[in-house]
A and B are shown apart, each in its own frame.
Chain A
Amino acid sequence: MERENYIALQFPSCSVNEGFARIAVAGFAAQLDPTLEELGDIKTAVSEAVTNAIVHAYPEEIGRISIKAKRSGDVLEIKIQDWGQGIADIAQAKQPLFTTGGEERSGMGFTIMESFMDEMRVRSRPGKGTTVVLRKRIMPRMGKK
């Protein structure tokens, strides 16, 4: 079994791709033998980051979204990047309930990513784009091959 592995994918910021992005990363994560709950956490966090890129990074246009997922031993790292609007105040954006998305959004995306994964890092520059890096250690299970 390979202990080091990665995938890279890119797609346009159409909402129909949200499901595809979740399934693709979940499929890659399967080699770490996650529990159903861990897989649910990964899918949810990816969905939050990708939806943010679609909704906030490219509000008026279709832009490019990139996902890189990497496995190093027991650790899964997922990097979601866009080249859209960017975030002026990252600390404020991470606050629960903070949203610029009106009543269609609840301002809980970053809070969910943070609590469903072990680590979340956000890099962003207004006008340049945003990169979210998520990490989760998948504990080896007893009786695993």
Chain B
Amino acid sequence: MELKAKADHRTLTLQLRGELDHHAAKRLVREIDLVVEREVPQQLVLDFSAVSFMDSSGIAVVMRAQRRMQELGGSATVIEVPPQARRVLHTAGIDRWVKIK
């Protein structure tokens, strides 16, 4: 799984590429924490357009990102979610806590 970060004013966009499973999540969580700490954004946008697979490990990653952003007084949004990952997020009812576009 690859992570590409782009900061624009107070919006930090993270593009995730590859398969988001438990194996990938272990490193991904640390990388997101680091870049959020560095950029201190108001808005965190998680771009899922290149996520080719996601399981419940991704739910915890998204929820953690949302919690980190709330601590900073901001929020997280997930965008461009492909069908398979969308089904997982929807089954978990995660849209109650995080904005999914």
Q: Which residues of A contact B (CB under 8 A)?
A: 15-16, 18-19, 22, 37, 40-41, 43-44, 47-48, 51, 54-55, 103-106, 108-109, 111-112, 115-116
- Interface residues in chain B, defined as those with a beta carbon under 8 Å from any beta carbon in chain A: 19, 21-23, 25-26, 29, 53, 55-57, 59-60, 63-64, 83-84, 87-88, 91-92
Given A111-B91, A112-B92, A115-B91, the answer on whether A22 and B56 have CB atoms closer than 8 Å is no
Residues in A whose Cβ lies below 8 Å from that of B55: 44, 47-48, 51, 109, 112
A108 engages B22 (CB within 8 Å): no
- The answer to whether A15 and B26 touch across the interface, beta carbons within 8 angstroms, is yes
Contacting B23 at CB < 8 Å: which of A16, A41, A48, A115?
A16
Q: What A residues does B25 contact at CB under 8 A?
A: 104
Partner of A108, one of B23, B53, B87, B92: B92
